[in-house]
Structure 1
Amino acid sequence: MCEKIKKVNSWLGAVFGEQVVPQFEVNTRTVDILYQLAQSSEARCSDTALLIEDLKQKAAEYQAEGAHLQDVLLQSVGLSSASLSKPVADCLSALVDNAMVLGVRDTSLGSFMPAVNNLTSELLEAEKSNRRLEREFRALRKRLGATLVLRGSLQEDINKTVKAQAVESAKAEEKLLKMDFVTAKANELSNRRERWEAQLVSRNMDKSITHQALVQLSEEVTELKKEIIPLKKKLEPYMDLSPSPSLAQVKIEEAKRELAALDSQLEMNVDFK
């Protein structure tokens, strides 16, 4: 643990340099994390240092090779960079720039052609990939448009459903309030009816004067009146008889007795009820 803390402190000091190292909570977890970061940082620094050394070595090799080629040109052909015209120098500079862009080791045709072929192949692959991406983009844009339309339709349906649900909820609440009122009123009327029935029972009320009994009596009276109508029609022919007063008188008396009997029965029924 102490070795890790020393390693971490050393690494933080190197990272922040002259700046003050921020305070942090020293515990097993933070020390382990910082120790791993320190190891990773040192490994990357070591790899970077090796890469820098390799690049320096290659640069030295290129410089040596360039100096050698310059000596060869100067000794064999008698050409130097100062003796070249501006167009030739520009061409050479462009050739060098192209070689550096293509990443070739020299400016020979054998080095340029494979590099150009590779770039052409990469260009064709990039164009092919670009066309494929354009097709996918068009398909995605079409799907996106359809999705947006569907989303708008669904949102509209949701809004309508929410409004309808709010209306139905208000109606349901109103119905519940009405149902509660009706239930309470029914209970109140039922209690009042029970109290009234108890009062009527306690007062020994005659059931013949109840509403139901009166309705039944009215129906019976109506039936009796219907039975009297044919009898009255039977008496009508005898009202104009004159040749046999005695016989007519007998018939009239019989009819009167029948009528009196019916009236008496009707009165008895009324009194009984």
Structure 2
Amino acid sequence: MCEKIKKVNSWLGAVFGDQPVPQFEVSTRTVDILYQLAQSSEARCSDTAHLIGDLKQKTSEYQADAAHLQEVLLQGVGLSCTGLSRPAADYVSALVDNAMVLGARDTSLGSFMPAVNSLTSERLEAEKSNRQLERELRALRKRLGATLVLRGTLQEDVEKTAKSQTVESAKAEERMLNMDFVTAKARELSNSRERSEAQLVSRKMDKSVTHQAIVQLSEEVGALKSEIIPLKKKLEPYMDLSPNPSLAQVKIEEAKRELAALDSKLEKNMDFK
């Protein structure tokens, strides 16, 4: 803990210099935070110092190379920086700028060619990537168009469904009203029937004159009439016989007895009902 406090005080003194160090709460947490900041600051300052030293060294090397090249130019061809014409100085400056843009080590052809080739490769890769992006963009536009068309169709379907639902709701409401009316009418008729039946019971009305009894009697009469028809057809052949009073009288009597029996049966049924 004491070593951390000493380290923090030393770092704060170096940071503030001649100015007084602000007062702060001395606690374990505060000291730990300041100690970490001190370590980070010293590490960053150390890295910065190394970088500055490296840049100074490279600057010295470049200056030495420049002095050597100037001496070679001056001794070899009698050229100096001050002796160049304005266009030549511009060309040299442009050459230097190009070398800096390309990241070449120097302005020699051996340095320019790899840099140009690398830049060309990057351009080709960029063009290839652009073409691929254009294809993807066209595909996206096509899908977007199809999606918009589908969206329009779905919107129309939704509107049609909403209108149809409104119509069906109105019809359903009308059916409900009709159903309520029919239910009320059926209840009214049922009550009326019950009252009528109660009146019939109170008046002790004969059940034989009810609608159901009359319908049943009508059916029985129809059945008896159906039985009489074949008997009449049975008598028809005897109508064409030659006059024979005794035989005709016998047949007539038989037919009369059968008719009388049927009439008697019919009357009994009528009386029974």
Q: TM-score, normalised by structure 1?
A: 0.58
- Tell me the equivalent position of 2:262: 262
- Once the two structures are superposed, the pairs formed by residues 220-231 of structure 1 within 5 Å of their partners are 220-231=220-231
The structural deviation recorded for 1:214 is 0.8
How far, CA to CA, are the matches of 2:113 and 2:79 in structure 1? 27
Match in the other structure for 2:95: 95
Deviates more, 1:117-126 or 1:202-211: 117-126
Q: Tell me how far 1:247 sits from its aligned partner.
A: 6.1
Report which stretch shifted further, 231-240 or 205-214: 231-240
- State the distance in 2 between where 1:240 and 1:67 align: 161
Residue 123 of structure 1 corresponds to 123
1:1-273 aligned at under 5 Å gives the runs: 68=67, 72=71, 76=75, 79-81=79-81, 83-104=83-104, 106-148=106-148, 150-151=150-151, 154-155=154-155, 158=158, 169-235=169-235, 245=245, 248=248, 252=252, 255-273=255-273
Q: What are the ranges of 5 or more consecutive residues in structure 1 without an aligned counterpart?
A: 1-38
Question: Any conservation in 1 of the 2:70–2:81 contact (CA below 8 Å)?
Answer: no
Return the letter of the residue paired with 1:128. Answer: K
- What is the CA–CA distance in structure 2 between the aligned matches of 1:65 and 1:201, rounded to whole Å? 140
Contact 2:99/2:106 (<8 A) preserved? yes
| Mean Cα deviation higher: 56-65 or 191-200 | 56-65
Encode CA deviations 1:178-218: one digit per residue, 9 max, x unaligned. 44444443333333323322332232222111111111111
User: Which is further off, 180-189 or 94-103?
Assistant: 180-189
TM superposition shift of 1:168: 5.0
Residues 86 and 206 (structure 1 numbering): CA distance in 2 closer, same or farther, change over 3 Å? same
CA distance in 2, matches of 1:134, 1:192: 85
Contact 2:95 2:107 in 1 (8 A): yes
Deviations 1:135-167 (A, max 9, x none): 433444454455455555555555555555555
| Range that drifts further, 108-117 or 153-162 | 153-162
Comparing 146-155 with 127-136, greater Cα deviation is found at 146-155
Alpha-carbon deviation of 1:88? 1.4
Query: Conserved in 2, the CA contact under 8 Å of 1:73 and 1:80?
Result: no
Secondary structure of the structure 1 residue equivalent to 2:107: coil
| Structure 2 stretches lacking a partner, 5+ long | 1-36
Greater shift in the superposed pair: 180-189 or 239-248: 239-248
Q: 1:192 to 1:61 in 2, by over 3 A?
A: farther
What is the aligned length? 229
The one-letter amino acid paired with 2:218 is: S
> Relative to 1, partners in 2 of residues 1:212 and 1:81: Cα closer, same or farther, differing over 3 Å?
same
CA-to-aligned-CA distance 1:217-272 (integer Å, 9 cap, x gap): 11111122222334444555666889555665565455445434433433342343
Which stretch shifts more, 100-109 or 85-94? 100-109
Between the aligned partners of 1:135 and 1:108, the Cα distance in structure 2 is 41
CA contact (8 A) 2:74 2:80 kept: no
CA distance in 2, matches of 1:67, 1:127: 38
Aligned Cα root-mean-square deviation (Å): 4.6
Change beyond 3 A, Cα 1:210–1:106: same
- Paired letter, 1:127: E
